[in-house]
Amino acid sequence: MMVIPGGSFAMGSVSGSEEDANTPKHAVSISSFAIGKYEITQAQWFSIMGTRPGMFKGDDLPVEQVTWKQAREFTRKLSEKTGQTYRLPTEAEWEYAARAGSESDYYFGADQTQVPEHAWFDENSDETTHPVGQKPANNYGLYDMYGNVWEWTMDCWNTSYEGAPVDGSAWTSGDCSMRVVRGGSWYNKLKSIKSAARARYSSEISYNSRGGGLRVVRELPK
């Protein structure tokens, strides 16, 4: 787990971007939190849940084909086992952690030609996930924030950021049968590999290997 310092940032994209669901860009304040250095691996999932979901197999591969409800159950059991409070990140926490202080499309700048150096996606994945931590970490020391597998967040889906929370909390209204996923996957094209890119999946469906991964947040003492 990496402790992320609190602060404020501009969440989303400017109006007129290719992804209208990422607008309007708005200021959000975040309290400090701890987030997984890596996506949850299959070995970690097995140690808590006793199962090995997903199409791709390997202890160091990120777990995939996990529903939102299963991801929530994982954090519940992890909290119970450790005595600490674990949960999925809010959408705002996820983007704040992915940006790592940057304001551009990517934590490393705006040059799209550099994306293959930092993410597993359709251009370089060979149609499979990869062991976590093989690409460079961002400035917060987090790996695979782009690509490999989509990552669940706590938030309900809304088609824009109109009325979104500005305190870093989860958006618990809207279409709560659909939950926000972040980061893109091995299957996705370049447009999904951005700090602000977002998509939605049903909370109850186990999607194919394009979706259903996670990393966890640990709440810090107040």
Tokens of 15: 């109006």
pLDDT per position as a tens digit, 150-177:
999 999 999 999 999 999 999 999 999 9
- Looking at the 3D structure of the chain, how many domains does it have? 1
pLDDT per position as a tens digit, 108-132:
999 999 999 999 999 999 999 999 9
Tokens of 58: 């390997």
- Return d(Cα 185, Cα 208) in angstroms, integer: 11
pLDDT per position as a tens digit, 49-69:
999 998 999 999 999 999 999
The yes-or-no verdict on residue 209 having pLDDT over 60 is no
Mean pLDDT calculated for residue range 201-216: 80
Angle, CA of 170, 9 and 156, to the nearest 5° = 20
The pLDDT assigned to 210 comes to: 61
CATH assignment at residue 152 = 3.90.1580.10
Burial of residue 106, with CB atoms counted within 10 A of its CB: 0-12 exposed, 13-18 middle, 19 or more buried? buried
Which helix or strand (DSSP H or E) is residue 117 part of?
A: helix 115-118
- Return d(Cα 66, Cα 69) in angstroms, integer: 8
Find, among 141, 149, 170, the residue nearest to 40 by Cα: 149
Mean pLDDT calculated for residue range 134-147: 98
Instruction: With cut-offs at 50, 70 and 90, classify the pLDDT of residue 182.
Output: very high
Angle, CA of 53, 131 and 215, to the nearest 5° = 65
The yes-or-no verdict on residue 88 having pLDDT over 80 is yes
pLDDT per position as a tens digit, 43-54:
999 999 999 998
Q: Which long-range contacts (CB under 8 A, 24 or more apart) does 51-55 make?
A: 53/206, 53/212, 54/209, 54/212, 55/208, 55/209
Average pLDDT, the chain: 93
The yes-or-no verdict on residue 34 having pLDDT over 90 is yes
Range of the domain at 124: 2-218
Give the CB-side neighbour count of residue 173, counting CA atoms within 13 A.
5
Q: Are 113 and 8 in contact (CB under 8 A)?
A: no
